[in-house]
Chain A
Amino acid sequence: MVQELLFYIFATLTVISGVSVISARNSITSALSLIATLGAVAALFALLDAHFIATIQILVYAGAIMVLFVFVIMLLNLEPEAVQGLRLTPGKALAAGVAAAGTVLLLWKFVGVKGAFPAIGEDYGTMEAVAEALFIQYLIPFEAVSLLLTAAVVGAVVIGKREL
C-alpha cells in the first residue's frame, strides 16, 4: 500500500516537472524542473530496490551533470529576447502530434503487460552486488566507458577553447 502511494506521488511529480522542463520559457526554470524530475526518478529507482543506482542518479545526474547545465546557462547570460518561449507554429503542432501519437502507441503496448515483481534477496541492488557484476562480468565495457569519458573531456576542452 505504501509502495503504491509512493509510486503515484513520485510518478505524478515526475510527469509534472517533465512537462515543466519542455514548457518553461526560461532555460533556468527548465533546468530546475529537470533536477526535480531526476530526483523523483531517483526515488522511483529506490522503490525498485535499486539503491546504488538511485544514489548515483542523485550524485552524478542531479549533482554533476545538472550543475554543468546551470553553469552554462549562467555563463551565457542570455538576453531576454534570446530566451525562446513556446510559439506554436504548424510545424511544431505537427511535431507535438507525432510525439503524442508515439505516446499513445507505447501506452497501448504497455498497458496489458503482466508481471508482478518477484521476491528478491537481501543484497539486490546494493553497491556490493552491482560492483560485482560491473567489475567481473562487465569489466571490458567498463574500461571502454572510461576511455569514452576521457575522450569526451578532451573533446569538450578542445571545442570550448577560444581559438582553435
Chain B
Amino acid sequence: MVSISHYLMLSAILFSLGVAGVLIRRNAIIVLMCVELMLNAVNLSFVALARKWGELDGHVVVFFVMAVAAAEAAVGLALVIALFRHKATINLEEANLLKG
C-alpha cells in the first residue's frame, strides 16, 4: 500500500534534483526551471500531508505557492531578457557585474 512515506520520498528526490540543477547548470532559464521543480516537490508534500490529515489547508497553501511561482517566473524571465539584452548571453557566470 502506498503510504505518506512514499510521497515524501518522491518529493525529497524531486527537490534534490532541483537543487542539483540550480547548483550545476549555468543557463539562467534552466536554473529558473529547476526552481519550479523544487516548488513542485514542496507542493507534492503539502498535498500528501493534507491528504494524510484529511484537511484542506494544504491545498490552499499549494494554491498560494502556484501564484507566487507564477509571479517569480514572470519577474525572473523579465530579468533573463534584460540580462540577454545587456550581455547577449544568459550564462550566469558572465553576470558578475556586482562581484567585488
Contact = CB atoms under 8 A, between A and B. Distances in A.
Interface residues on A, range: 35 or more
A152 B25 contact: no
A15 B59 CA distance: 23
Contacts of B44: 41, 44-45
Given A34-B37, A41-B44, A145-B68, A18 B3 contact: no
A24 B30 CA distance: 9
A127 to B, nearest CB: 10
B82 interface: yes
A34 B80 CA distance: 18
Contacts of B24: 22, 86, 92, 95-96
Nearest to B24: A92
A149 B70 contact: yes
A141 B27 CA distance: 34
Contacts of B13: 15, 18, 103, 107
Contacts of A120: 51, 54
The secondary-structure label for the interface of chain B is: helix
A141 B68 CA distance: 12
Interface of A: 3-4, 7, 11, 14-15, 18-19, 21-22, 24, 27, 30-31, 34, 37-38, 41, 44-45, 48-50, 52-53, 56-57, 60-61, 64-65, 68-69, 72-73, 75-76, 78, 82-84, 86, 92, 95-96, 98-100, 102-103, 106-107, 110-118, 120, 124-125, 129-130, 133-134, 137-138, 141-142, 145, 148-149, 151-153, 155-157, 159-160, 162
